Structure 1
Amino acid sequence: MLPQAPNLEENYEIKLILNPDLVLDPASHAPTPALLSAFSSSPTPTKMSIQFLDDSDKTIYGAGWSPRIRRTEGKPGFELTYKKRYPITAGNVNEALRAANTDGFDASDTKYEAQVEWGYKSMTLSVSRDKKVPGGEVSSLVLPDAEAAREMLREEAPGKFKNFGGEEGWGIRALERVRVYGPVLAGRFAGTWGEAGVKISLEIWPVMIKDEGRFEYIVEVSFKAANRAKASPLREQLIAMLEGKGWLCPRDSLKTQLIMDNY
């Protein structure tokens, strides 16, 4: 039997949630001057329109996958992402990487990115493949309807999604029944933080809460690091700063789950 290929090499993204009542203007839901100043952020966001695709039983999401289509202001075409998530227990990243390897995600395929999403309480390993599809005006944020989105995702589906779990055609069959979850029109503010000038992304996602007829505003501050040794001390410093200002929500981001539950 051939030896197993090495695991994917992961990078890190720290994601922390802020209290929207304290960092957003109550009328416009834009970042307060204090928040923008804390991260040397531009007051003008880059707009993004995002939608997720699954059937009404959430078959794809239940299998750990999350196919998404996004348009970003100023960028041509559509950005497709096929993301597979693996839970990380007690900080054991290697165990999650081994689980991904068992599913065929290993270092021999450089088209997939392995990233540890590290929140306030937990870590998740995401293995994702991005595709770009031309179409539409650069200035437009309009996303395709369910039929067009379904076809787009089927045409671009990578093999590991198509044949997940050793079941040939699994992903293609799953996409036959999908509908749109979303879209969500979000904003991203670019900034920097700390003496080292760490690149910060500040995102605001207004998610509709269908049973209450209101929007919940998810405010997320994040940064990326090449490895755990670099990510860990910066994460601790950022948490301390946010707690000092009283802005931090002591919980993890559940954007995707919230969208899947309400659209």
Structure 2
Amino acid sequence: MTTTSPRTARIHPPAAVGIALAASASLFVGTTPAQAASDAVPTYEVKINLTTAALDASRTPLAAVKSAFGITGSAKARSYTYYDTGTQALDTQGWSVRLRHKSGSSFEESYKKRFTVTDGDIDGALATADAAGFDSSDTNYDAEVDWGYAKQTLSFSNEKSHSDSGYSGTAMPSSSTGLNWLVNEIPGKLQDWNTDNWGKTTLQASRSHGPVTSQVWEGAWEASDDAGIEVLPVVGASGSGTEYVVELSFKADDYDDAAKLHTDAIDVAESHGWLYHGDILKTGLILDRY
């Protein structure tokens, strides 16, 4: 797959030209041209799926898997659910709304807008996002490129929190309570997406898809201080039984580190027979099966 590193450089005029420009500018004292906001600068998360060959009989990553990818922490539970309509109207517009609860933490409310990265053209996706109002000036959203086995997706996330008072462990609220929290905290971009109040009206008509509860093991590997393996049990495609999604992930601040993590993780997983040759989008899986 061809990948394109986002723009990091700007061309500056030579000194002589700069002086001439300054002189010309003096003729227009008092005039300030409008400056368009620049494209957002994303961080990266490499997400590689493994097969269940990477797990032991208790659905825990093998010791060899943990060692290969720097996983040293003990398991931590997290529960989450997505909210969307029966026809997945939010997802169709590239939006996902999630409520998550990690043990011992407040609830996390996440509103995420996704943009497709075509043929590794991250710059093109950033330009498309900029045109839609997601640029470097909006500090309410964090830009990130999710880099899977063969697919990249640019996302902008608005994260909020809600007190977990009265809830122990990773317990989730009722569907209606969780929805009420999310509707009350809806960010402006989603609320008025397409037309005034489209997002709010659509979210109000949504239901919970889930909850699901996964186990996560954490560590550090190569350039990433934020490595992890998540094992997520989901209902089978037939509506019964349980399937297990195993996701290996690494966060990186820049493209070059992410590219190396992506290549090396695939190579190591492939060499041990653990690699799943494809991309599993957990959001879509949960929306479809719950």
Normalised by the length of structure 1, the TM-score is: 0.92
Indicate the residue corresponding to 2:226 in structure 1. Answer: 199
The counterpart of 2:201, out of the listed 163, 170, 173, is 173
Indicate the residue corresponding to 1:36 in structure 2. Answer: 66
> Per the alignment, do residues 132 and 103 of structure 1 end up closer, same or farther by CA in structure 2, a change over 3 Å counting?
same
Q: Are 2:142 and 1:113 aligned?
A: yes
Contact 2:230 2:246 in 1 (8 A): yes
Displacement of 1:240:
1.0
> Per the alignment, do residues 43 and 192 of structure 1 end up closer, same or farther by CA in structure 2, a change over 3 Å counting?
closer
Gaps of 5+ in 2: 1-32
SS of match in other structure, 1:164: coil
Displacement of 1:32:
1.9
Indicate the residue corresponding to 1:232 in structure 2. Answer: 259
Displacement of 1:250:
1.2
The counterpart of 1:25, out of the listed 46, 49, 56, is 56
SS of match in other structure, 1:41: coil
2-side partners of 1:170 and 1:197: how far apart?
39
2-side partners of 1:238 and 1:151: how far apart?
40
1-side partners of 2:224 and 2:205: how far apart?
46
2-side partners of 1:185 and 1:234: how far apart?
27
Deviations 1:20-58 (A, max 9, x none): 1x11123x2122222222234346211000100011111
User: Share of identical aligned residues, percent?
Assistant: 36
Largest Rg, 1 or 2: 2
1-side partners of 2:178 and 2:275: how far apart?
36
2-side partners of 1:94 and 1:41: how far apart?
32
Normalised by the length of structure 2, the TM-score is: 0.84
Structure with the largest fraction of strand: 1
Displacement of 1:223:
0.6
The counterpart of 1:61, out of the listed 84, 87, 91, is 91
Q: Are 2:39 and 1:10 aligned?
A: no
Matched residues, number: 258
The 5 Å alignment of 1:38-117 reads 38-42=68-72, 44-75=74-105, 77-117=106-146
Contact 1:54 1:60 in 2 (8 A): yes
Contact 2:80 2:211 in 1 (8 A): yes
Contact 1:74 1:138 in 2 (8 A): no
Contact 2:46 2:251 in 1 (8 A): yes
1-side partners of 2:85 and 2:214: how far apart?
23
SS of match in other structure, 1:224: strand
Amino acid across the alignment from 1:201: G
The counterpart of 2:214, out of the listed 180, 186, 189, is 186
Displacement of 1:210:
5.3
Could you say what the CA RMSD is over the residues aligned between the two structures, in angstroms?
A: 1.7
Displacement of 1:187:
1.1
Gaps of 5+ in 1: none
1-side partners of 2:216 and 2:117: how far apart?
27
1-side partners of 2:228 and 2:217: how far apart?
6
SS of match in other structure, 1:25: coil
> Per the alignment, do residues 31 and 43 of structure 1 end up closer, same or farther by CA in structure 2, a change over 3 Å counting?
farther
Indicate the residue corresponding to 2:21 in structure 1. Answer: none
SS of match in other structure, 1:148: helix
Contact 1:48 1:72 in 2 (8 A): yes
1-side partners of 2:224 and 2:204: how far apart?
46
SS of match in other structure, 2:98: strand
Contact 1:117 1:125 in 2 (8 A): yes
SS of match in other structure, 1:174: helix
